[in-house]
Amino acid sequence: MSDAGGRTVPAVHATGEVAVDPPHEQELAAYLRASASREALLSLYGRFVQGETPFDAMMRRVVWRALARRAGPGLSIGRGVQFMHIETFEIGSGVFIGDQAIIQGRFDGTCRIGDRCWIGPQSYLDARHLVMEEFVGWGPGARLLGSEHTGSPTSRPVVQTDLDVRPVRICAGSDIGVNAVILPGITIGKGAIVGAGSVVTHDVPPLAIVAGVPARVLRHRDDASPGHKKQEAP
C-alpha cells in the first residue's frame, strides 16, 4: 500500500500536563458524594449523559467522582458513556473515555484504570476484574471480556450456568487496535500492540506486535535486526 500523502504529527493525549480541576467542581463532587443517594446521583447523570456543552461534560465528571471509589483529576467523560457498579472503579489522572463507551463492573469486583489512559468511543470493557495500567491506548470499538459461562452442566442453557470471572491485565504503554477483542484471563504485556480486529486468546509478551484471528506475534517493537522486514497479518 502506498503511503503517498501520509504524514506524521505529534501525539496529543497524555503529552501535556493534566488539567487541574477547578475548586468549585471538586467541592460539588464532594458535596454530592456526602449528601446524595446513589439513586439520586444516577438520575442526575441521566440529565447530562448526552449533553454536548461544557457544563454537561463537567456534570458527568462530577457525578463520576461522587460515585466512583476514586477518580483523579483531568477526567474526560464523553457523551452517552454508560457504566455498571461504578462504586468499584478506581480511575487515575488524565483519563479519557470516549462517546458511548460502556464499562461494566461487578459489585464484588475490581476495575482500575491507570493514569493517562485513552479509551476510544464505543468501547466495551467487562471490568469485573480488570487492571489497566497507565498510558494504555484502547481503540474505538475494542472489546474486553472478563468472564464467560462455564457451560456445565450441559442439561442447562449456557446462560444459566455459572459465570467464570478471570482477571485481565493490560500493562502500561500498550495499545489495543480498533475492534480488537481481548478474552478473559489475558495479560497484554508492557508496550505491546494488538492489531485492529484481532481476537486475543493467549497472553501477549511485552513489546510484541500481534494481529489476526486468533492473534499471533508478527514481530517485536524492539526488533532492530539487520534486514528485518515486517510480516503481514494472515
Same domain, 54 and 119: no
pLDDT digit string, tens, across residues 182-227: 999 999 999 999 999 999 999 999 999 999 999 999 999 998 644 4
Domain co-membership, 39 together with 114: no
Q: Convert the pLDDT of each residue in 127-152 to its tens digit.
A: 999 999 999 999 999 999 999 999 99
Same domain, 199 and 140: yes
Residue 64 CA to residue 105 CA, distance in Å, equals: 14
Report yes or no on 57 lying in a domain: yes
Full-model pTM: 0.90
pLDDT over threshold 70, residue 3: no
Peptide bond into 214 cis (omega under 30): yes
Q: Report the CATH number at residue 187.
A: 2.160.10.10
Backbone phi and psi for residue 43, each to the nearest 5 degrees, phi listed first? -65, -40
State how far the Cα of 83 lies from the Cα of 89, in Å rounded to an integer.
Answer: 10
CB-based contacts of 155: which residues, under 8 Å, 6+ apart?
none
pLDDT at 66 over 50: yes
pLDDT of residue 233: 41
CA-derived radius of gyration, the chain? 19
Q: Is the pLDDT of residue 230 over 50?
A: no
Q: Is residue 216 within 8 Å of 204, Cβ to Cβ?
A: no
Percent of the chain with pLDDT over 90: 86
Residue 42 sits in the same domain as residue 128:
no
Summarize pLDDT for 49-62 with one digit per residue, the tens.
Answer: 999 999 999 999 99
**Residue 223 CA, distance from chain mean position:** 28
- Are 153 and 199 found together in one domain? yes
For the stretch 69-85, pLDDT in tens is: 999 999 999 999 999 99
- Residue 99 and residue 27 share a domain: no
The mean of the pLDDT values for the chain is: 93
Residue 8 in domain: no
Q: Is the dihedral angle over the CA atoms 217, 222, 223, 229 positive or is it negative?
A: positive
**Per the structure, how many domains does the chain have?**
2
CB atoms within 10 A of CB 202: 14
Range of the structural domain that residue 44 is part of: 21-67
- The DSSP secondary-structure symbol of 138 reads E
How much is the pLDDT for 141?
Answer: 98
Note whether residue 205 is domain-resident: yes
